[in-house]
Amino acid sequence: MAVGGTGGGPSAPRAGSFGRVKERRGSTVEVESLEEFDARVAAGARSLSGWHLQGLDLRERGLALRGLDAAGALFLGCELEPADEQSLRARGALVFPIVPGIPFDAYRASLYTAEELYAGLDTSYEETLDARVYAWSRQEPSLDRSLTQALHDHAIDDALLELVKDRRLVGVMGGHAVTRGSAPYADAARLAGELTRAGLLVATGGGPGAMEAANLGAYLARQPPAVLDEALDLLAAAPSFVPSVQAWASAALEVRERWPGGAHSLGIPTWHYGHEPPNAFATAIAKYFRNAIREAVLLHAASAGIVFLPGAAGTVQEVFQDACENYYADASSVAPMVLVGREHWTRTLPVWPLLESLARERHMAGHVHLVDDVSEVPALLASAG
């Protein structure tokens, strides 16, 4: 089973079909493709002032660059002929060069795709971009590596902001240990499918377990219910990424090949947990180095609320991060919180009593819910919207 993709460079697959909104007018414009650069020049542009050119191969655009006023332009990781780079700097442009010796593009203009992260999986997981970036991140900390990671995460922030603009996101959180073939996995998938059909964009932590199930359910939301059942059966042959990430990810990519063109969803994983590979069912993947940034972004992006499926320490942390946001929010900014699994959240991990106490006499009081079954969730979110 072949997996396409070329790594993290300018020619990597883009998540553009996912509704990226580009700023095409104003004092600052982002130019992220050669087609857009050429179109702007052809339309009569005379100055690069305010242009942010990101990840472009401009080695064959020297003549055009020399004919434009370069003052106030910003070049991020663009490929330039040495003479053109020197000329741009001399004429007032700010040029951030390509960072050498790293397996990813620190200035990338788009989110990742599963095909990009898993290119090379036919050989082994260790050959994939995902594994190579993780291995690079495990080196001894240094200033240059820390700065490169910060540049990358800033670029992911920028791409994610464009993607989620004016969309209603619902977060689905849950444990990474939920296995394919289990009832909780199927429940998470069916819930996400229903939320997607209701017009919400499902966002998860992008990893395995309940997160993968939610992205799967969103992906197959437009298919008949029997297709999801068939996909669940196929995936159950590789229930976990342990012991083989290759077998686990290959099974997911085969499901995608069998039913291409699925509905969109978002995954926000991290290389911080290197033992947890990203799931292949999110159609856009905002993968970060810094877990704290990733957690904050995921919580802030979920404007339509968050569903918390049974989980352990990580999910508990997310519950109270979200609770803190809602606790201090004004009435117009509170987002629903729905905890699924009364036994789990009151006895196994008694989060609910504390959450209920925090909510008392706050604006969030009417927005926190505890339910027994995922079938109760969509109506709660719909009533809050």
Q: What is the DSSP string of 165-223?
A: TT--EEEEE--TTPPTTSHHHHHHHHHHHHHHHTTPEEEE-SSSTHHHHHHHHHHTTTS
Q: Phi first, then psi: what are they for 209, rounded to 5°?
A: 70, -135
What is residue 11's predicted lDDT score, i.e. its pLDDT? 35
Count CB-CB contacts under 10 A for residue 218. Answer: 32
Query: Contact 191/156 with Cβ under 8 angstroms?
Result: no
Token pair listed for 123: 């050989």
DSSP 110-152: S-B-HHHHTTTTTT-GGGSHHHHHHHHHTSPP-HHHHHHHHHH
Three-class DSSP category at 356: helix
What is residue 384's predicted lDDT score, i.e. its pLDDT? 66
Instruction: Pick the closest to residue 155 from 213, 90, 106, 217 (CA basis).
Output: 106
> Measured between alpha carbons, how far is 359 from 131 in angstroms, rounded to an integer?
42
270 forms beta bridges with 288
Token pair listed for 89: 């700097």
> For the chain, which residues score pLDDT lower than 50?
1-23, 25
> Measured between alpha carbons, how far is 193 from 187 in angstroms, rounded to an integer?
10
Indicate the pTM of the whole model: 0.88
Residue type, 269: P
> Measured between alpha carbons, how far is 26 from 13 in angstroms, rounded to an integer?
27
Query: Contact 84/63 with Cβ under 8 angstroms?
Result: no
What are the helix (H) ranges across 276-334?
291-301, 313-328
What is residue 347's predicted lDDT score, i.e. its pLDDT? 97
Terminal Cα distance for the chain, rounded: 42
Count CB-CB contacts under 10 A for residue 216. Answer: 30
- Cα 109 to chain centroid, rounded: 13
CATH topology of domain 160-384: Rossmann fold (3.40.50)
What is residue 26's predicted lDDT score, i.e. its pLDDT? 52
Tokens 């050429």 belong to residue? 38
* Residue 245 DSSP symbol: H
Token pair listed for 294: 């990733």
What is residue 373's predicted lDDT score, i.e. its pLDDT? 94
> Measured between alpha carbons, how far is 33 from 238 in angstroms, rounded to an integer?
39
> Measured between alpha carbons, how far is 381 from 129 in angstroms, rounded to an integer?
37
Domain residue limits, the chain: 16-150, 160-384
What is residue 12's predicted lDDT score, i.e. its pLDDT? 38
> Measured between alpha carbons, how far is 51 from 30 in angstroms, rounded to an integer?
6
> Measured between alpha carbons, how far is 20 from 160 in angstroms, rounded to an integer?
8
Burial of 377 (0-12, 13-18, 19+ CB in 10 A): buried
